[in-house]
Amino acid sequence: MFRLDGKVALLVGGGSGIGEASAHALAANGAHVVVADLNGEAASRTADAIVQTGYAAEGLTLDLTDAGAVEDAVAGILRQHGRLDIGVSSPSINVRKPLLDYTPEEFERVLRVNMGGTFNLLQSAGRAMAEGGGGSLIAFSSIRSQVVEPGQSVYAATKAGTLQLLRGLASELGGRGVRANAVAPGVIDTPLTAPIKNNPQWYEAYAQKSVFGRWGRPEEIAGAVVYLASDAASFVTGTVLFVDGGWTSMDGRFTPPL
């Protein structure tokens, strides 16, 4: 029930990190994956690596914040493959600083990528899926949609907003066979979180917030994407799947002497 044979997926942000791992996982389970990224060379590297392992993929340069480009990409996939079954939006950026120190330009930039870009993919892919009779839309939220820390307010707002976009879309398109869900990772070792490694105390504090005492790996998120894309999740829509190592289930960082 987890197989994706015969399905076509558009995964944006597949040049690195969670997106790259998810592209490999979708392809390994049978999907033809269009790996898109603002960095076209990175997208092509991911696609080539997938093909070298015997699965089907192609690379595409795509700016998720360009609504016209996203619409054209979806139209191109429909022309070439005749269908679009899976749409995944993974790119995010973060300007980590106190809210009172944010500039209007920084605020707009984070919203434009995290919310605006996700909106563009959900709208274009969602329209194609509704007209085609079904599909699965997946976007990345975060533990920050639920819990926040200093310096994360704007990023957290976009991740909460992403979740609500998906819930609204699920309610609107469910009758046309389209599911819409979010994946909410915890702290994952990716380029986005790489700067934290420069502060060992900070890095270790995040590790200990997981019940496993470590950071997550991108490939540990990919299974959630495959699940939500597959028929195994045929009755799952409008929800969020946390893959956070228990972060949101624990109360604080101190284990009482029991």
Q: What is the pLDDT along the chain (258 residues), one digit of tens a residue?
A: 999 999 999 999 999 999 999 999 999 999 999 999 999 999 999 999 999 999 999 999 999 999 999 999 999 999 999 999 999 999 999 999 999 999 999 999 999 999 999 999 999 999 999 999 999 999 999 999 999 999 999 999 999 999 999 999 999 999 999 999 999 999 998 877 878 888 889 999 899 889 999 999 999 999 999 999 999 999 999 999 999 999 999 876 666 666
**CATH superfamily of the 8-189+215-246 domain:** NAD(P)-binding Rossmann-like Domain (3.40.50.720)
Burial class (CB in 10 A: 0-12, 13-18, 19+), 81: middle
Domain residue ranges in the chain = 8-189+215-246
* Residue 110 CB coordination number (10 Å): 20
Query: Which amino acid, 3?
Result: R
Which backbone phi and psi does 156 adopt, to 5 degrees?
-60, -40
Q: Structure pTM? A: 0.94
Q: What pLDDT shows up at residue 197?
A: 82
Q: How many residues does the chain have?
A: 258
Q: Which of 55, 102, 155, 206 is catalytic?
A: 155
Q: What is the dihedral of CA 209, 213, 217, 221, to 10 degrees?
A: -60
155 part of the active site: yes
